[in-house]
Amino acid sequence: MQNVISIKSTSTLEDIDSYYTELYRYIKQDATVHVSLPKELKKHYLGLVPALIQLVCTWVRYENSGKLLLSISTNANADEIDELYENELIYPIAALVWNKNEVWDKSGHVNLRSLLRDKNREVTGKMKSVKAFKGYKLPLIVSDHIAGAHLPIFETSNDFKNEEEIKDSLRPAVNEMLNYILSLKSEHNAVLNDLKKVTFELMKNTFEWGRTDEDNVVLDPNLRGVLFKFYKNRRKTLVDDFQGHPGVVSYLNNKTLKENTQGELYFLELSVFDSGVGLIEKYKSLNPSTNLTDVEIVKTCMIKHNTSARGLEKEDKGIGLDRVLKTLNKKGFLRIKTGTVCLYRDLIASNYLELEKGDVAKMELFDWKKESNSKYTSFPAATGSVITILYPLATQEE
């Protein structure tokens, strides 16, 4: 087939930049473009999967997006399909394109929906039960365009759950994964409390802002979710992976992050994503007279009460991202990609500071490429928002 963006099995975050360049070249030509996914991802690169999901969401919103192509035999057996779905990309992207672009074999001639339907239902059922997946991963993904695809952990058809309900639902899977990684048999209440706060605030944001466009029209298709990934890796390996990003390297080298006897760091990677219009466009639609830059809009959204509104149970909605920063203070790392910006903050090096409404200049967010808090890169526009968090599971005072 012509005009195919082929996602490599060895993809890195830098490769995703080149995929965006390729996509926008086709968009400029008004050409039909297809996307091909690999059977597996060979690099367990921090933040890679949600970044690739966002790329595909951007492609789907293009009116001439074509077919999603998978490298799987049209007569694949159940074991082959199970192996394919171990690739964290497959389910969310297949669910996203299920009704619009649909899922095809590598040639683009054979539709795979009937082959994959039962597996998709199995994955959905497992997520509704909040069961950990092979490899100690926990995807919790909502496909708004598919009837009955909401997840009871987060929401009914109309309402969002409260924090304690979410915590209670997360507890069995989180304890199972953490006990495996940390070789302990205990309740991880401190971690659960932090996960509860972050997951509640970020998923509630997708429920409130990630389901409609700038004109408040429901998006179809639409994908929202959180990906938990628990793992351990040698500090040196992680540092080597991020040599092109000094800010990340500095975070990983911080002695606050405690190694085990094998020189490994224990992390939870938590990413929340949506395929909506993103923080920037949503803010502009609500504040049409704003003269803020894209970066200033993101900073504004991170400050308590700057996005205040009334909605669910009449509570103040302007505390979410500020509360996330506060929860990660002195231990976490946050990366946010939305619209034309990609920013990060190391909450060990740059501690949380509660800012007054309007103190945008004091909000520290650093450019992903330039490592600067004052000079920023304008990236090709990405659909929706992705927030990826590194949460260390073992820390010590310096």
Give 144-189 pLDDT, tens digit per residue.
999 887 899 999 877 999 999 999 999 999 888 888 777 666 668 8
Helices (H) and strands (E) in the chain, counts: 12, 11
Mean pLDDT of the chain: 91
d(CA 320, CA 334): 14
> CB of 25 within 8 A of CB of 54?
no
Instruction: Give just the sign of the alpha carbon dihedral 296, 53, 129, 86.
Output: negative
pTM of the model: 0.94
Give pLDDT tens digits for 268-299: 999 999 999 999 999 999 999 999 999 999 99
pLDDT at 357: 77
For 350, other C-beta atoms within 10 Å of its C-beta total 17
pLDDT at 365: 97
Judge residue 194's burial from the number of C-beta atoms within 10 Å of its C-beta, 0-12 exposed, 13-18 middle, 19 or more buried. Answer: buried
Give pLDDT tens digits for 247-264: 999 999 999 999 988 889
Residue ranges of domains in the chain? 1-125, 129-398
Phi-psi region of 191 (alpha: psi -120 to 50; beta: other; left: phi over 0): alpha
> Is 90 exceeded by the pLDDT of residue 82?
yes
For 151, other C-beta atoms within 10 Å of its C-beta total 21
Estimate to the nearest angstrom the gap between the alpha carbon of 68 and the chain centroid: 20
Extended strands (E) in the chain: 4-6, 33-37, 65-70, 103-105, 137-143, 223-234, 264-274, 333-339, 341-346, 366-367, 382-392
Percent of the chain with pLDDT over 70: 94
